[in-house]
Amino acid sequence: MPNNPSHRRPILRLALFLVCAILIFLAFNTLYSFTNTLHQLDVVEAERDRWQRPVDVLRALDLRAGNTVVDLGSGAGYFTLKLSPAVAKRGQVLAVDLRRLSLFFLWTRAVLRGQHNVHVVLGEEDNPRLPAGAVDAVLICNTYHEFRNPELMIEHIFRALRPSGRLVVVDRAPPATEGQHTHEVPLANVESELQSRGFDIVSRQDRFIDRPGDDLWWLLVARKP
């Protein structure tokens, strides 16, 4: 008996319906995961505000409306989104990170908040891809210890800064216990590396964040002559 196309139509409709249902489910599931991640970022950052001292970090950068500032190692935008209003609409915030997903979430958050002066930059391990002589300040928070080649990164930053441009570095100090595995970096090492390239040291705080039961954080402010 020859095949009757009319017999196959219900099966095709059912298959098409199932495919559409699966796609809709996956789309809603992705949207839920995405919005939940955005919410969790807000929750985590609100808690971080209690101890990270963001107001003091921004004060150390000495920003003005219209400035161009870099958040080097921006992650999903904790400091970037705070830097945006500090430089106002005429200013720019260059958010640099190696992780595409983090930059995607940062870009999305900036768009949702109407912070159109935020620009994401996908950096490289030894090159933050910054414009030469166009930056007024650079912030490196909890990232310096990740540099594979600190001297090369400092060179890129030095070239990007305008004369009198500021560099603020915030990072964790190594634990007091000798022999303990750590990725932190001593303040003295960073200070020496910056001075070797020609930075002037403006100020330093050895105990910038000192919370019981947590690592000690330091803050260093340097200036390009």
Residues 121 and 211 in one domain: yes
Range of the domain at 138: 51-223
Count how many domains the chain has.
2
Give residue 203's identity as a one-letter amino acid code. S
Give one DSSP letter per residue of 23-52, joined into a string. HHHHHHHHHHHHHHHHHHHHHHHHHHTTTS
Q: What is the mean pLDDT of the chain?
A: 90
Rounded to an integer, the average pLDDT of 86-111 is: 97
Residues 2 and 67 in one domain: no
Residues 43 and 150 in one domain: no
Residues 97 and 108 in one domain: yes
Q: Kind and range of the H or E element at 12?
A: helix 5-48
Residues 36 and 65 in one domain: no
Residues 146 and 99 in one domain: yes
**pLDDT for 177-218, tens place per residue?**
655 555 789 999 999 999 999 999 999 999 999 988 888 999
Residues 102 and 194 in one domain: yes
Give residue 6's identity as a one-letter amino acid code. S
Domain boundary among 48, 64, 85: 48
Residues 97 and 168 in one domain: yes
Residues 141 and 86 in one domain: yes
> Residue 42 above 60 pLDDT?
yes
CATH number at residue 79: 3.40.50.150
Residues 97 and 178 in one domain: yes
Compute the distance between CA of residue 72 and CA of residue 62 in angstroms, rounded to an integer. 17
Lowest-confidence region among 9-13, 163-167, 170-174: 9-13
Residues 99 and 30 in one domain: no
Residues 184 and 195 in one domain: yes
Confidence (pTM)? 0.84
End-to-end CA distance of the chain: 91
Determine the pLDDT at residue 34: 66
